[in-house]
Structures are given as C-alpha cells and as structure tokens.
Amino acid sequence: MTGANETADDRVLRVAIADDHPVVRDGLALLMDLLPDVEVAGVAATGAEIVALADAQRLDVVLMDLRMPQLSGVEAIKRIRARHPETQIVVLTTYADDEEIAEAFRAGAVSYLTKDADRKDIHQAVTAAARGQGLISPQIREHLGRTAEQPGPAADEAPDGLTPREVEVLRLIAAGRSNGEIIELLHISEATIKTHINRVFTKTRVRDRAQAVRYAYRHGLASFSDT
C-alpha cells in the first residue's frame, strides 16, 4: 500500500500493455518488468480486454496501440479516460497518421510514441504520464512540423480567450515547431514568444508543450485539414 504522501516519483507505477501482436506485447512486458519503478499489472490483446482490465484493476498508465481488434485503440482510450480519469494513456504505435494522432489526443491520450522508441523514451513517457505530463516522440514532432503551414481556424472560434496571435503560436507548437523556429516564422523576439507561450499555457491551463498539442487537437486548433 502506498503512503498518503507518496507521489508518482517515489512509488511503483502499475502499467498495463495493450497490443494485438504477441511478440510486441510480451517484449514490452519484459522491458517494463526490468524497470525498478514499474509493475506490469496486465496485458491485453484487444481494445475490449484493456478496457475490462482498467475496470478490474487500478492502473496508473496504459501503453496503448491504436490498431486493435474488437475495439479500436481510440475508442478504448475514450472509455478508459471516461471511467477512470486517474489512468493516463501513452500511445505506442507503428503509425504516425494525421487523423490517428489527432483522434488519440482528442480521446485523452497524454503522450504519443512510435514503436521505434527505445526503453529510455518509453520509461520517460510512462513516468511523465503518471504525473499528468505528456511527451511526443521526435518522429511525431517531425511529422507534425511538415503540416505547419496549413490554415487554422478563424479568430472568433478560439476558445478560452485566446487572441489570434496566441492561436497562431499554439498552432505552431502543435506542429512541432521550436521556440527558435516560431521566432523566425512570426518575426518576433525571444521575449515576445516566451510571453505568448506563457499566456497560452495560462489561458488553456496546460503545463507543457505536449499538453498544449493535446489541447490544440481537442479544440480544433491543430494544423491538420480535418480540424
């Protein structure tokens, strides 16, 4: 039993793995079992199985593939997050499709990794997720960056009082752009971009760039044509 003052940084995290490929599923379970601060609470071969597992046990984090039989990974994320908001979802998938990235974040995933991520990346994503923080793999950030020039929503559609410039900054963050790249694209100073980002984070109540990406997708501010 964990102590009343124990945090995600000093307790063993209960992690479940959802993947329909036995070799991948078993390999991830073995990898997770080797980590001193992680306990594999169970594995699932279908979307329905991982939802049932989340219903039956307390889970801190689920490593979720998106292409799952019986119930899609996105639908499984929606159900788990609706029933167990304390359980965080880290997507770990082979694919980096625009629509799937957007749907995963809208459904409630906090991180998105591709399966070429190494053990350090996966461990970092799991521990960050347990604190409610997100990570996006470099491959996904690069993929998002290639879509940065697509048009965004009209200014009067922006939620939470975001100004047109703040929407523009948020869109570029969601497209994987660094501060330096945003400075060049918008022709503004480093101090100005920091001010814009701080205001975006405050207004949207996010704590890091990965959460900002998730917010952008959920509110139709991401730079994909479907939003």
CATH number for the domain harbouring residue 26: 3.40.50.2300
Confidence band (pLDDT; 50, 70, 90) for 50?
Answer: very high
> Coil, helix or strand for 72?
coil
29 and 78 fall within a common domain? yes
Distances (CA, A) of 128 to 26, 90, 114, 148, 169: 23, 10, 16, 26, 24
Judged against a pLDDT cut of 60, whether residue 105 lies above it is answered with yes
**Average pLDDT over all residues of the chain:** 83
Judged against a pLDDT cut of 60, whether residue 8 lies above it is answered with no
Q: Give the mean pLDDT of 27-55.
A: 95
Using the 3D structure, point to which of 106, 139, 172 is the last residue of a domain. Answer: 139
Q: Give the mean pLDDT of 175-197.
A: 87
Neighbours of 80 (CB within 10 A): 26
| Contact by Cβ (8 Å): 212, 141 | no
pLDDT of residue 2: 42
51 and 92 fall within a common domain? yes
Taking only the tens place, the pLDDT of each residue in 145-164 is 554 444 444 445 678 888 98
